[in-house]
Amino acid sequence: MLAAAFALWMQTQSAPPEFAREDLGIAVRRLPEGYRLRKPDEDSDVVFEISDEAGKATGSAVHLAGWPRARGRADAWEGAVRKDRATRSLRLVKEEVLAPALGEALRREWVLETAEGSRCILGLFVSRGDRTLRLLLQAPQDAWDRVRDPLVRLTDAVEMHHVWRCAACGAAAMGGTASCPQCAASLYPRDDRIRDFSRKFEIQIVLDPSRSLPIGDVSGEAPARRDAEAFCPMLAREVKKYPDDFFRRVDVGRILLLRDIRFKNPPPGKVLAFAMYHPRFAMVIDVTEKQKFATIHHEFFHFLDFVPDYSTKDGDWVALNEKGFRYDSTLWAESLAESKVKGFISQYARAGEAEDKAELFACLMMDQKRARVRAQGDAVLARKLARLKEIVREFCPKMDDEHWRSLDR
């Protein structure tokens, strides 16, 4: 019985979706029987509209870029409806925090009272990186018992993926896709170890970023192929230091391998890597730099730091410094030498609280002994080290004391 059920599940996963927007990473795996889907113009924010044959149940899905993510979007929609003059009442009936393999998802159910009567609304909010799909389905309250189950099944069939780009032709592809839907070029690196990582967490490793640049204000040059390919097994080694849950939560979509990273408005020094929150939750890294491995962990921490509340500001962290200390934003990334100022693991850590935390995290991931030795004679650094481990554990509970001990083995 279980074998038959598993075979049926595998069949549904391998079958092409009934609806897909490659450029948005959105798919509907299977429509409930008796429901039809309509695609508006691609210029519209509405991704699709749906209704049942009787016209009782209707709904639409909207693609939203930027912040906040699923819960924030649900709260914002609910707040706007409550303020609407036509609303007499909006009652939250049920909330489910869903557990997709990747990303963040929330389902809520409401009863809306207006002068026109009572309607039940089922809302699905799914986020990947800096993008959210908001699906709202509704029907008159007297028809809800009949339509609710198929509408719930519909929300279960909706998928939100990162958007990848084919290095060969530039076409968009669903995150995790093995080959380009346009030219059939492989979207995975050759190295088996990093290919498995890329597939498992939907993180595209872009060896030739020529067709992906610029992203926002960031550009650069494609590295030599040999440099990019040599970097892949080293990246695979470093990401194995993390539990799987870290990458499920951090939700990075792409890692672009570059050399000579440039900004539209250049910073006061050489850029080794950069964490991009918008657009398209991505990391760029210069694979020709000596510090690239510590830099990988530094940038991963920036995503960890940003995701919970969409900010890297941290007054509690600042308060750990000695009284009167002020960060200096002119200390750019070339200042990676060990700091002689107490409380800081490197010169660059003195540039701001976000860099302070990221530098200390990178040191922990690369050389815990160095961090511990430095903290023994430095009360400020010892406080920061303890607080940093708390921050990391709050974000990813599996990165606990046992995790840090395992890195020493």
Query: DSSP character for 322?
Result: P
Closest among 138, 163, 159, 175 to 65, alpha carbons compared: 163
Confidence at residue 390, expressed as pLDDT on a 0 to 100 scale: 97
Confidence at residue 3, expressed as pLDDT on a 0 to 100 scale: 47
pLDDT tens across the length of the chain (409 residues): 434 443 443 444 457 899 999 999 999 999 999 999 999 876 778 999 999 998 899 999 999 998 889 999 999 999 999 999 999 999 999 999 998 888 899 999 999 999 999 999 999 999 999 899 999 999 999 999 999 999 999 999 999 999 999 999 999 999 999 999 999 999 999 899 899 999 999 999 999 998 888 887 888 899 999 999 999 999 999 999 999 999 999 989 999 999 988 887 766 567 788 888 776 689 999 998 887 888 999 999 999 998 877 788 899 999 999 999 999 988 765 556 688 888 999 999 999 999 999 999 999 999 999 999 999 989 999 999 999 999 999 999 999 999 999 998 7
Confidence at residue 267, expressed as pLDDT on a 0 to 100 scale: 65
The 10s digit of each residue's pLDDT in 260-303 is: 888 877 665 677 888 887 766 899 999 988 878 889 999 999 99
Domains and CATH numbers, the chain: 17-161 (3.40.1000.10), 177-408 (3.40.390.70)
HSE value, Cβ hemisphere, 13 Å, CA-based, for 87: 14
d(Cα 186, Cα 184) in Å, to the nearest integer? 6
Confidence at residue 10, expressed as pLDDT on a 0 to 100 scale: 41
Closest among 279, 290, 305 to 359, alpha carbons compared: 305
Query: DSSP alpha helices (H): ranges in 158-243?
Result: 192-201, 225-239
Amino acid at 340: K
Q: Which residues contact 13 (CB under 8 A, 6 or more apart)?
A: 29
d(Cα 271, Cα 303) in Å, to the nearest integer? 17
d(Cα 89, Cα 305) in Å, to the nearest integer? 37
Kindly report the length of the chain: 409
Amino acid at 299: E
Confidence at residue 268, expressed as pLDDT on a 0 to 100 scale: 58
Are 160 and 124 a contacting pair, CB within 8 Å?
Answer: no
Are 281 and 271 a contacting pair, CB within 8 Å?
Answer: no
| Token representation of residue 248 | 């499920």
Q: What Cα–Cα distance (Å) separates residue 329 from each residue in 168, 266, 267? A: 39, 14, 10
Confidence at residue 4, expressed as pLDDT on a 0 to 100 scale: 45
**pTM here?**
0.88
Are 301 and 361 a contacting pair, CB within 8 Å?
Answer: yes
**Residue 211: what are its φ and ψ, rounded to 5°?**
-85, -5
Torsion sign across C-alpha atoms 370, 372, 373, 378: positive
Q: What crossing angle do the helices spanning 368-376 and 401-408 adopt, rounded to 10°? A: 110
d(Cα 390, Cα 369) in Å, to the nearest integer? 18
Confidence at residue 205, expressed as pLDDT on a 0 to 100 scale: 95
Closest among 301, 293, 282, 284 to 356, alpha carbons compared: 301
For the chain, how long is the longest CA-to-CA vector?
Answer: 74
Strands (E), 7-116: 19-21, 26-28, 35-38, 46-52, 58-65, 87-98, 104-114
HSE value, Cβ hemisphere, 13 Å, CA-based, for 53: 4
- Report the 10 Å Cβ neighbour count for 368: 15
Q: Is 57 helix (H, G, I), strand (E, B) or coil?
A: coil
Query: DSSP alpha helices (H): ranges in 84-137?
Result: none
d(Cα 248, Cα 278) in Å, to the nearest integer? 18
Closest among 59, 35, 63 to 49, alpha carbons compared: 59
Q: Are strands 254-263 and 273-276 parallel, antiparallel or unpaired?
A: unpaired
d(Cα 294, Cα 61) in Å, to the nearest integer? 41
> Where do we find the tokens 């922990």?
364
